Amino acid sequence: MCGITGILNLTEPNIISVDVISKMSGHLNHRGPNESGLYIDDWIGIAQTRLSIIDLTGGTQPIHNEDKTLWIVFNGEIYNYIELKNSLIKLGHKFYTNTDTEIILHLYEEKQENCLHMLNGQFAFTIWDSINRKIFIARDRVGKKPLYYTVCGDQFIFASEIKAIFANNKVKRELDAKGIDQVFTFWTTLPGRTSFKDIKELPAGSYLSITGNNVIVKQYWDFDFALPNELTNCNSDEITSYSKELLLDSIGIRLRADVPVGCYLSGGLDSSGITTFVKNNFNNQLNTFGIRFEDVDFDEGQYQKEMVSKLHVEHKEILATNKNIGELVPEVIWHTEIPLLRLSPVPLYMLSELVNQSGFRVVLTGEGADEIFGGYNIFRETLIRSFWAKYPNSTMRPRLLDKLYPYIFKDKRSKATLNSFFKIGIDQPATPFFSHLIRWNNTARIKRFFSENITSSTQDYDTLLELKDNLPEKFNKWDALSKAQYLEMKIFMSDYLLSSQGDRVAMAHSLEIRMPYLDYRLIEFMGKVPSYLKIRGLNEKFILKKIYKDVLPQSILNRPKHPYRAPIKNSLLNKNLQYVDYYLSDEKLKSYNLFNHSMVKILKDKLTKSENSSEFDNMALVGILTTQILNDRFIENFDAHMIKPSIFDIIFDRRSTTHYDYHSKKQNYS
């Protein structure tokens, strides 16, 4: 994994400052601590900071083609690069490295943008065609690797992280009220938008090309689900067999690396299954890593111990104390670059540091299994509510929710309250957001804390309408579960789980995470599987459990679902954390003018004095606090957090005139 950044002149050749690019690149050193490189000519400067995983000594970027007319900087891994390289050699291409990066460049020579359909991996890359003065930028199908950009005057500026763009003093720094509004609805921004005004994200499964000053963004892939006449006619055993075959191959190619590869092990079905397949089929000396919690309500230690004992792996764990979680929030926000409504990314930030300190650069994780195989409660809840919607006045059908949430439905009062909650919108099952609207509306209640300034900026804006306008044409023809899966994967998974809770906290400690469940072949195949085989009755992940039924203990296979969470109130309050009081003070709330200071004071007092706290109040506390931190770190006091500029190991200088005397650790190339 790496960090990439660059500046392109849109209208005419002009001086591009190496010093500016080195400042931008310096803000990505955590993504690539091993080496850095720069290509620069009169039109463009592109740089990369490298985390070396494949071809450790010969893969210095930027990388060029045979005649040095095409140049690439790349963040990610192409897992099928060996197979692609063999086919490219047969076509006559010459390689000077053993990297997967160079494969992309030669494949682009052959296929142009169609090369993306042949890549199996996680990636964000930029190719510069110096002859045609064309830039081509692309992201992987599901958005595992980030890429942001902005147009500033007559320059196009891009980077793996927003902080690198802001290191360019030409770029204005300002929060985007609409982006914040989206976060306080969906937990993240919608594809393409960020928390910052005029800073855009290249959406997952999309590419961007620029010829002249014409910026074009196109989608080349999206999550898809079969219509009734397109569903596979295989039975459950055949589906299980083929899914297992795909999963094993997905794991195998994700173990390709010139460094050791470990596994995250939480003790849940998804990570336990991946770890077991790796141990039994590929690696007998496996290292695993897990999180333990001080708060027993969040801890899964007994299941981790069971799997470690069964598999005889070398296991290390980090204890996430409430104190440590609370203290690390500002650091995590620096890396997520977006407000949070949960503290779940913080323990994962701690875990990535443990893995890094243990000498590992790569781990496999279980992300994506719930989304692809149908594991979330919101999916089962959607099926129950769809069943209930056929007879909205039924008193028997909503009782299925008792089985789904037995820990909530404990007495008559809670049953009545929750039934009323889940009945909202029950008479409109055909609406596109039937599965998620209750949750989104509940989250959106936090907007009542917005200041008048933010409220007035978004009063004519409808975030749900924006989402609706961007749904795929087939969406309304899908069944209820498929719609729910699409919304969950497109928004929450791609822009939150794989970002704030994935790449950003892992790469903060130079760790690459690889996700076998999110191999596009497995995603596409499961999109053709009937919904009743994903969730059988109320038995979630029916196919995945069949895959693992002979290799996992029953205690793991059939354990109650334990959503990964982190404690909020006990981590942020009553711990004398000075920064919490600082950011939630009347002075700072009034100064930043993002939230109503009087209402925030009432919320904080309520949480401090009450023994128990509601889910809503916890979300509101985290959302308000992290937005305040984001504004401070990125808008008000960004210069105080400037990082030391990169000193490039290698510079390919193709400018017509030398504008700067600039040293690198290696030789300059002309």
Q: What percent of the chain stands above pLDDT 70?
A: 96
233-372+486-557 belongs to which CATH class? alpha beta
| Predicted confidence (pLDDT) per residue in 80-102, tens digit | 999 999 999 999 999 999 999 99
Cβ atoms of 614 and 564 within 8 Å: the answer is: no
pTM: 0.95
pLDDT at residue 346, as a whole number: 98
Adjacency order of strands within the sheet including 206-211: 63-64, 70-78, 121-129, 134-139, 206-211, 214-219
CATH for 2-221+648-669, options being 1.10.150.670, 3.60.20.10, 2.40.160.20, 3.20.20.70:
3.60.20.10
pLDDT at residue 664, as a whole number: 56
What does the mean pLDDT of the chain come to? Answer: 94
| Domain map (residue ranges) of the chain | 2-221+648-669, 233-372+486-557, 393-426
| Predicted confidence (pLDDT) per residue in 272-314, tens digit | 999 999 999 998 789 999 999 998 889 999 999 999 999 999 9
Q: Measured in whole angstroms, how far is the alpha carbon of residue 4 from the centre of its chain?
A: 17
Low-confidence ranges of the chain (pLDDT < 50): 660-663, 667, 669-670
CA–CA dist 498, 477 (Å, integer): 28
pLDDT at residue 410, as a whole number: 59
Structure tokens at 517: 């469940």
Adjacency order of strands within the sheet including 2-9: 200-201, 148-152, 155-159, 2-9, 44-50, 35-40, 650-653, 668-669
pLDDT at residue 274, as a whole number: 98
pLDDT at residue 574, as a whole number: 73
